[in-house]
Amino acid sequence: MNKKIQYTEETDLRGVPCPANAARIILKLESMDEGKILKTLIDEGEAYENLLSSLDEDGYELITSAKKVGGWEVFIKA
């Protein structure tokens, strides 16, 4: 399903500690045109949970996410 999502930007933030990982994603989203899609990879566990919370607090739409080996693949609308 994720293969069909057309994204314009991509980041890999696995290994980046909280909250810098979420902060970088938010900064990336702020730099993108509204409606464009960001694909990001982030560590599982607290990093992923904190990202969901940050997106919610900052009003960004999570399109979909899927658990992958070594983390989560997340698609977010800017």
Partner 1 sequence: MIYLDNASTTLPDSSLINFSRRLYSRVFGNASSSHRVGRDASKEIEKAREIIAGSLNAHADEIYFTSGGTESNNIAIWGRFLASKKINPNIIISSVEHPSVYNVAQFLKRMGVEVRILPVDSGCSVIVDELTKLISSDTILVSVMQVNNETGIIQPIRKIGSICREREVPFHSDACQGFTKEPFDVKKDLVDIASISSHKIHGLKGTAALYLKRGVKLANPFQGGGQELGLRPGTPDPIGIAAFAFASTIYKPEDYKKVQNLRDYFMNNLIKYPAISLNGSASNRISNNINIRIKGLTAADAARELSRRGVMVSTGSACSSSKSEPSRVLISMGLSEKAALESLRITLSVHTEKKEIDLVSDHIFDIMKKLL
Answer for which of 7, 18, 63, 78 binds partner 1 (CB under 8 A) is: 18
Q: Are 6 and 34 in contact (CB under 8 A)?
A: no
Half-sphere exposure of 18 (CA within 13 A, CB side): 12
The residue range among 4-12, 29-37, 43-51, 59-67 that interacts with partner 1, by the rule CB under 8 A, is: 43-51
How far is it, in rounded angstroms, from Cα 1 to Cα 46?
A: 25
15 binds partner 1 (CB under 8 A): yes
Please report, as ranges, the residues that interact with partner 1 according to CB under 8 A: 14-15, 17-18, 43-47, 49-50, 53, 56-57, 71
List active site positions.
18
